[in-house]
Amino acid sequence: MHGIVPPDPQTTVSQHHYAVVYVPRKSRKRFAASCVAIQADRQTALEQADPNRKQYAAIVLGPSKSSEGQYIYYLREWLS
């Protein structure tokens, strides 16, 4: 996957998660951990999303540590 730090195959640190992501515009493909709220399942993520507050349901991959030392999540898919 271009632009994504690949998950470590020997650990389960980076995984796919359902989440609600706060983002000003949906063109972003990676997000600081502080902008991601992990949810239990797809339905919960969809229920917690609020586009009026720029909070969108998504499937994310992470967390990963960026080269700047920040924990980040990568977008896999926006949910609707």
Does any domain span residue 10? no
- Residues 19-47 have pLDDT tens digits of 999 999 999 999 999 999 999 999 999 99
Alpha helix ranges (H) inside 1-80: 42-48
Residue 14 has pLDDT above 90, yes or no: no
Residue 41 placed within a domain: yes
Query: 44 or 13, which is more confident?
Result: 44
Burial class (CB in 10 A: 0-12, 13-18, 19+), 74: buried
Residue 30 has a CB neighbour count (10 Å cut-off) of: 18
- Its domain, for residue 38, covers 15-78
Q: Please state the pTM of the whole predicted model.
A: 0.84
Half-sphere exposure of 24 (CA within 13 A, CB side): 0
User: What one-character DSSP code corresponds to residue 54?
Assistant: T
CB neighbourhood size of 48 (10 A): 14
Number of domains in the chain: 1
Average pLDDT over residues 15-20: 96
